Amino acid sequence: NAGVMQNPRHLVRRRGQEARLRCSPMKGHSHVYWYRQLPEEGLKFMVYLQKENIIDESGMPKERFSAEFPKEGPSILRIQQVVRGDSAAYFCASSLTLDRGNTEAFFGQGTRLTVV
Partner 1 sequence: AQTVTQSQPEMSVQEAETVTLSCTYDTSENNYYLFWYKQPPSRQMILVIRQEAYKQQNATENRFSVNFQKAAKSFSLKISDSQLGDTAMYFCAFGYQGAQKLVFGQGTRLTINP
Binding site for partner 1 (CB under 8 A): 31, 33, 35, 40-45, 48, 56, 89, 91, 93, 95, 98, 100, 102-107, 109-110, 112
Q: Are 75 and 52 within 8 A, CB to CB?
A: no
- For 1, 40, 67, 85, the CA distances from 55, given in Å and listed in that order, are 26, 28, 11, 26
Nearer residue to partner 1 within complex by CB, 63 or 104: 104
Nearer residue to partner 1 within complex by CB, 16 or 61: 61
Nearer residue to partner 1 within complex by CB, 40 or 72: 40
Nearer residue to partner 1 within complex by CB, 13 or 33: 33
- For 16, 65, 71, 99, 107, the CA distances from 43, given in Å and listed in that order, are 25, 17, 27, 24, 11
Tell me the closest approach of the beta carbon of residue 11 to partner 1, in angstroms.
Answer: 14
Tell me the closest approach of the beta carbon of residue 71 to partner 1, in angstroms.
Answer: 21
DSSP assigned state of 24: E
Tell me the closest approach of the beta carbon of residue 8 to partner 1, in angstroms.
Answer: 13
Tell me the closest approach of the beta carbon of residue 43 to partner 1, in angstroms.
Answer: 5
Q: Are 78 and 66 within 8 A, CB to CB?
A: yes
Measured CA to CA, the distance from residue 31 to residue 61 in angstroms comes to: 21
